[in-house]
Structure 1
Amino acid sequence: MCMVIFAPIFAICAFATCGGYYGHLQVKVDCADRRQNNRSINIDFGYPFRLQQAHFKAPLCKENRDEIIFLEGDFSPAAQYFITVGVFAFLYSLLATIVYVFYQNKYLKNNRGPLVDFVVTIIFSFMWLVSSCCWAKTLSDIKTATNPTQVLLLITSCRAQENKCTATEEPLWSRLNTSVVFGFVNVVLWSGNIWFVFKETGWYKTGQRYPTRSASGKRSGSMRQRLYSESSFDQPEENSAPSRQNSFNLSKGDFDHQLQRQASINQSQVSFSLPQTYLGKPVIYDREDKVASQGPMIFVNEM
């Protein structure tokens, strides 16, 4: 939303402060022979800063006539490139604003809108950086070319020591300096928007779809699995499948060990009945668990 609001505004400020600039320089020539005294010369220039086309008339003190002098330098490529980037950035930001507000569903459909917006944002960020740097260097050259000292050296009469030449009015550069500032503000704005546009793309969503599990997450997952497995063992027999019953059947040795533990527990319990004796016949088993012989057997019930 920040990009939608501020991008068109700063783009307008950038190309408006540069494109409509108009500079004025005034110098005065005083000839030694007093034939042309206090002669004021007005020099005008502006966008696109083709200074070689800006000319003015200067008096020749030794002769009763004027000469035509042209300024030096053509600085139009950098200025026009800066203006072009600003205009296209303004138009694209307006289009993006309309899409964000009225066509949000189509923008997110098939992830094409965020991908195109991401690529275009990177391109405009790079173009703003290049154009702002070039325009800052070009503005410095324009200031040098229109410096009153440099302009006075172009006048033939001012190169003679007996004549007196002074600058009475200099150009104002605050507007062009502001355009450079707005250019770098757009660089920061568009570069910072790259991250927010990237979050709308499928690349960012794919990276967040399967997050890596931390060590604590793995331990908690294993603990939940163990609790689930233990709770499954405590289910009643009627709810378990026959195949599970067969898999958990005890072996014969384990079953005998279980019976011995149960007998020891029963013997440890306290009984308040009197000792009784039972007379019976002992039963002897052979190795094949068959009854071999029987004899008298005594059972004593102790307290």
Structure 2
Amino acid sequence: MSGLRLELGPAKEPLGLVRGLQWFFSIFAFATCGGYSGAVTFRISCFGANTTVTAPFAYPFRLNHAVFMPSLTTLCNKTWLGDLHLVGDFSSSAQFFVAVAVLAFLYSMAALALYLGFLHLYRGAGGRLPLADFLVTVAFSFLWLVSSSAWAKALTDVKTSTASPLPHCPPPSVSCFPAGVTPMGSLNVSVVFGFLNLVLWVGSSWFVYKETNFHRPAPAPTPGPAAM
């Protein structure tokens, strides 16, 4: 039979249990990174007047597009000749990390559905499906390693950029004081979830490998009736 056979047994085995954890934690990985928004705020004092300027930023962290508002060109007797931006573009690392998390979410969900509904096909396909599953799992392990490392480095650079002083503040006529940056706790958590997913995918490689013919040889063919 090649139809659906719902079996909850694989969900209690490491093969299905780890896939469920991968599905669950991949959601937190892309949600904590992709859902972030924040701002950098400075207080500017000049000629007896105080003004607060803010540069909002968010995923995918193209900080060089984040402009301080209200425009600094109207402040302090035109000390700044043009609008000021934050520094750096970290979108490639952030988008790569989120893309890996979303793809891992989709694949782990599809694999879990295969285990629960079509395990007889999975284990009865001559080892082709377990081998493909194993290769994809190894590939995702590598992608989690690369994307999490790249995003961790990019996050460090984001923090450095947003903590930089405001340029062109000649004292004593103009004073610029940092008034705060939106906390980045959720971004720190996204890095943690990235490496946690790495551990889960590396660990699941062993359980998927055990389903392949390399670890579990294909059953020998049933001998036919003896010739008369």
Both proteins in one fold, TM over 0.5: yes
Q: Is the 8 A contact 2:44 2:174 kept in 1?
A: yes
Unmatched tracts of structure 1, length 5 or more:
210-303
RMSD over aligned Cα atoms? 1.9
State the match for 1:170 in structure 2: 181
Alignment TM-score, normalising by the size of structure 2: 0.83
State the match for 1:55 in structure 2: 67
- Could you say what secondary structure the match of 2:44 adopts? strand
Following TM superposition, by how much is the alpha carbon of 1:205 offset from its aligned partner in structure 2, in angstroms?
Answer: 1.8
- Could you say what secondary structure the match of 2:121 adopts? helix
1:133 aligns with 2:149: yes
Distance in 2 separating the partners of 1:140 and 1:61: 32
- Could you say what secondary structure the match of 1:18 adopts? helix
Matched letter for residue 167 of structure 1: P
1:191 aligns with 2:202: yes
Following TM superposition, by how much is the alpha carbon of 1:169 offset from its aligned partner in structure 2, in angstroms?
Answer: 2.2
Unmatched tracts of structure 2, length 5 or more:
1-15, 221-228
Q: Which has the higher contact order (CA 8 A, sep 6+)?
A: 2
Distance in 1 separating the partners of 2:101 and 2:108: 10
Alignment TM-score, normalising by the size of structure 1: 0.63
- Structure 1 pair 63–205 and aligned structure 2 pair: CA distance change class (3 A): closer
Query: Is the strand fraction higher in 1 or 2?
Result: 1
State the match for 1:43 in structure 2: 55
State the match for 2:118 in structure 1: 103
Matched letter for residue 186 of structure 1: N
- Could you say what secondary structure the match of 2:43 adopts? strand
Give CA deviations for 1:76-123 in whole Å, capped at 9, x if unaligned.
000000000000000000000110000011111211111011000000
Query: Is the helix fraction higher in 1 or 2?
Result: 1
State the match for 2:107 in structure 1: 92
Distance in 2 separating the partners of 1:159 and 1:7: 52
Aligned partner of 1:121 among 137, 142, 146: 137
Identity of aligned residues (%): 43
1:20 aligns with 2:35: yes
- Structure 1 pair 66–30 and aligned structure 2 pair: CA distance change class (3 A): farther
Q: Is the 8 A contact 1:27 1:165 kept in 2?
A: yes
Q: How does 1:271-282 map to 2 (within 5 A)?
A: none
Give CA deviations for 1:96-153 in whole Å, capped at 9, x if unaligned.
0110000011111211111011000000000000000000000000111111xx241x
- Structure 1 pair 60–197 and aligned structure 2 pair: CA distance change class (3 A): same
Q: Is the 8 A contact 1:60 1:66 kept in 2?
A: no
Give CA deviations for 1:251-286 in whole Å, capped at 9, x if unaligned.
xxxxxxxxxxxxxxxxxxxxxxxxxxxxxxxxxxxx
